Amino acid sequence: MTAIWWLRRDLRLDDNPALRAAANAGQVLPVFICDDSVERLGAAPKWRLGLGLEALIQRIEAQGGQVFLRRGAARDILLELAQAIGADTVVWNRLYDGAAIERDTAVKTALQEAGLSVQSYNSHLLFEPWTVETKSGGYYKVYSPFWRAVCDRPVAAAHAAPNVDWASPSEVQTDPVSDWALGAGMQRGAEVVQAHCRIGEDAARARLDHFIGCHIADYKARRDFPAEPVCSGLSENLTYGEISPRRIWAAGQAAREAGEPGAEHFLKELVWREFAYHLLFHEPSLPEDNHREGWDDFPWRGDSEDADRWRRGCTGIRFVDAAMRELYVTGTMHNRARMIVASFLTKHLLTDWRLGRAWFEDCLIDWDPASNAMGWQWVAGCGPDAAPYFRVFNPDGQAEKYDPEGTYRHRWIAEGADTPSDTALSFFDAVPKSWAVSPGDAYPAPIIDLRKGRERALAAYEARKG
Ligand code: FAD
């Protein structure tokens, strides 16, 4: 008996229900398919996916197995492969964005019609979206009641990696992962970004252990200070499934039971991710369409030179530029900084949130379809449970509060500094030559007067209401 394990966003052996089911069924053939969902990814998440995949391939090869890699339509490849090796079962872990659900439903029907047994499992979430309902049977659009509905629910225990009898059939061909050129879109210095990545399941577990051991106690009090290493960084690994949310939940719960002051807050943040998936499942157009009514005719600006200066970390507003450079160099950005740059783009620069969402989608190594869409709509004011549009972050005020010593800004801005930091200088190694920037340049003047930008945003908001 051979089972095909269709790998997607679950690049791990630990606590992987589909892999466990496959291992119980017989020999296991892991398959990764480079289909449209992979081809469509932004440059950084596509490149980072390739690194995660290579790490898993090495792990499986060390156990005597082999991951079969194919490019094309999942349905055709799975059918062909199952026939070639005589597999009778195909398993995978579920995904929740509209395109994935549509594809998986069609694949399941085709495989079943061909006589195969098909099973799917939950490994990506703690609480699958359809299992959480309001009292009236709808879905939650506000976070706090969602949290109250799930916080005391039992979460299944995480399982260790199973013993697997790997299949390595000689009759099927596999592509070398390098043939897919998953990093081809990385116009920026990939090696600069890679120095900041933590790839694979061992790295993810080490990250979790380090966070629980060293930072969870300070998490609630210090998590908003972007210069401090208090946050877990686990979003990078969760995105590719290099760690299971159940493992993280269990570690957070144990810390809570041990009386760690930041533990509950950490669990609440994990549940923001769940909430984002809850929303995306029930509103598949969340990445594209304003959630709130009345926003479709808001006078957002389209692309502009201002938006370009924002992308390039060259607005002359130091906190914004520091954050955009952090994004460019590390592929991630601190949560407080994400809120500030998103507010600056959508409010001070009055720019359509979808433009910012798309730039994040291209640059973030932790890009997540649900959290990114929710985060942008939340900041822009048109999303579920959103920050009101009239609450406009002042980036300078935020800098005084959350970066009082200027450590974060110094870490990411070289121009004008007597002794620029290595990280700030590395931005200039990462950017394409066509940007023609150098650490010796004068730091740019602000592209907008913060007070005037705020007034323009509020006027647009008032006009919309009227
Ligand atoms: P920690 O503070 O250690 O939190 C632990 C985990 O909780 C995170 O790994 C993440 O899975 C979850 N989490 C924490 N905060 C949030 C939040 N606000 N929303 C949803 N989940 C959360 N997160 C992504 O993973 N991918 C994205 O593409 C993404 N885009 C965003 C865009 C905007 C405009 C905003 C405002 C937020 C976005 N976030 C996104 C949410 C958040 O910024 C990141 O999850 C967080 O910064 C990740 O760092 P961490 O792992 O150190 O988080």
351 DSSP β-pair partners = 301
Cα three-residue angle 11-233-323, rounded to 5 degrees: 125
- Taking only the tens of pLDDT, the chain with its 466 residues reads 899 999 999 999 999 999 999 999 999 999 999 999 999 999 999 999 999 999 999 999 999 999 999 999 999 999 999 999 999 999 999 999 999 999 999 999 999 999 999 999 999 999 999 999 999 999 999 999 999 999 999 999 999 999 999 998 888 889 999 999 999 999 888 999 999 999 999 999 999 999 999 999 999 999 999 999 999 999 999 999 999 999 999 999 999 999 998 999 999 999 999 999 999 999 999 999 999 988 999 999 999 999 999 999 999 999 999 999 999 999 999 999 999 999 999 999 999 999 999 999 999 999 999 999 999 999 999 998 877 888 899 999 999 999 999 999 999 999 999 999 999 999 999 999 999 999 999 999 999 999 999 999 999 988 886 5
pLDDT of residue 391: 85
pLDDT of residue 466: 56
pLDDT of residue 92: 98
Distance CA 291, CA 378 (A): 10
In order, the DSSP letters of 228-281 are STTS--THHHHHTTSS-HHHHHHHHHHHHHTT-TTHHHHHHHHHHHHHHHHHHH
Distance CA 463, CA 466 (A): 5
Residue type, 346: T
Kind of pairing, strands 2-7 and 27-34?
A: parallel
Asked if residues 267 and 289 have their Cβ atoms less than 8 Å apart, the reply is: no
How many Cβ atoms sit within 10 Å of the Cβ of residue 285? 11
- 356: part of which helix (H) or strand (E)? helix 353-363
CA nearest ligand 1 atom 23, residue: 371
Q: What's the gap in Å between 36 CA and the centre of ligand 1?
A: 25
Q: What's the gap in Å between 304 CA and the centre of ligand 1?
A: 27
Atom of ligand 1 nearest to the CA of 378: 36
Atom of ligand 1 nearest to the CA of 356: 34
User: What does the radius of gyration of the chain's CA atoms come to, in whole angstroms?
Assistant: 23
Burial (Cβ within 10 Å: 0-12, 13-18, ≥19) of residue 258: exposed
Return all residues near 397 (Cβ < 8 A) that are at least 6 apart: none
Q: What are phi and psi of 28, to 5 degrees?
A: -120, 130
Asked if residues 26 and 1 have their Cβ atoms less than 8 Å apart, the reply is: yes
pLDDT of residue 269: 98
Atom of ligand 1 nearest to the CA of 339: 36
Distance CA 213, CA 196 (A): 21
Atom of ligand 1 nearest to the CA of 211: 3
pLDDT of residue 318: 98
CA nearest ligand 1 atom 30, residue: 372
Return all residues near 387 (Cβ < 8 A) that are at least 6 apart: 378, 379, 381
| Ligand 1-lining residues (CB < 6 angstroms) | 223, 231-235, 238, 269-270, 272-273, 276, 335, 338-339, 342, 360, 364, 366-368, 371-372, 375-376, 379
Q: What's the gap in Å between 212 CA and the centre of ligand 1?
A: 17
Distance CA 51, CA 231 (A): 23
The owner of tokens 């989608």 is 361
pLDDT of residue 294: 87
SS3 letters across 292-317: CCCCCCCCCECCCHHHHHHHCCCCCC
pLDDT of residue 169: 87
Query: Of the residues 239, 269, 271, which should be mutated to test ligand 1's pocket, given the most ligand atoms within 8 Å of the CB?
Result: 269
pLDDT of residue 400: 98
Distance CA 41, CA 38 (A): 5
Please state, in angstroms and as integers, the Cα–Cα distance from residue 253 to each residue in 39, 99, 287, 436, following that order: 38, 33, 31, 49
CA nearest ligand 1 atom 11, residue: 235
* Token couple for 299: 């006078």
- pTM (two decimals): 0.97
* Catalytic center residues: 269, 272, 300, 335, 353, 376
Q: What's the gap in Å between 235 CA and the centre of ligand 1?
A: 6
Return all residues near 113 (Cβ < 8 A) that are at least 6 apart: none
CA 100 to chain CA centroid, nearest Å: 16
pLDDT of residue 194: 97
Q: What's the gap in Å between 238 CA and the centre of ligand 1?
A: 10
Asked if residues 158 and 244 have their Cβ atoms less than 8 Å apart, the reply is: yes
- 322: part of which helix (H) or strand (E)? helix 318-330
